């Protein structure tokens, strides 16, 4: 995550819940305006997908579904 992205996330996190939802919707609309087909993969996502296709993936029993934020996927 870039420093700018971290700043944006921190600022949005400071907002009340209702304003966070508004900010999220605004960001979604900005992304759609910039790239209407934003479902395309980034270069990093494309590499990760290719690695998974080559057998480098996590099986279901390797994933701690209750603590996803704490997983080290590298």
pLDDT tens-digit series, residues 19-67: 999 999 999 899 888 887 777 788 888 888 888 887 767 778 888 888 8
11-20: average pLDDT: 94
What pLDDT band is residue 71 in, cutting at 50, 70 and 90?
A: confident
Residue 11's pLDDT is 94
Residue 19's pLDDT is 94
C-beta of residue 23 within 8 angstroms of C-beta of residue 12: yes
C-beta of residue 38 within 8 angstroms of C-beta of residue 31: yes
Query: Which two tokens mark 13?
Result: 């996190």
Instruction: Look at residue 12 and give its three-state secondary structure.
Output: helix
Query: Which two tokens mark 14?
Result: 């400071």
Residue 56's pLDDT is 66
pTM: 0.46
């Amino acid at each position: 995550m870039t420093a700018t992205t971290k700043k944006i996330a921190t600022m949005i996190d400071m907002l009340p819940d209702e304003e966070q939802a508004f900010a999220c919707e605004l960001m979604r609309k900005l992304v759609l305006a910039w790239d209407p087909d934003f479902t395309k993969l980034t270069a990093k996502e494309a590499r990760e997908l290719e690695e998974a296709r080559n057998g480098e993936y996590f099986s279901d029993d390797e994933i701690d579904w209750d603590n996803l934020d704490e997983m080290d996927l590298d």
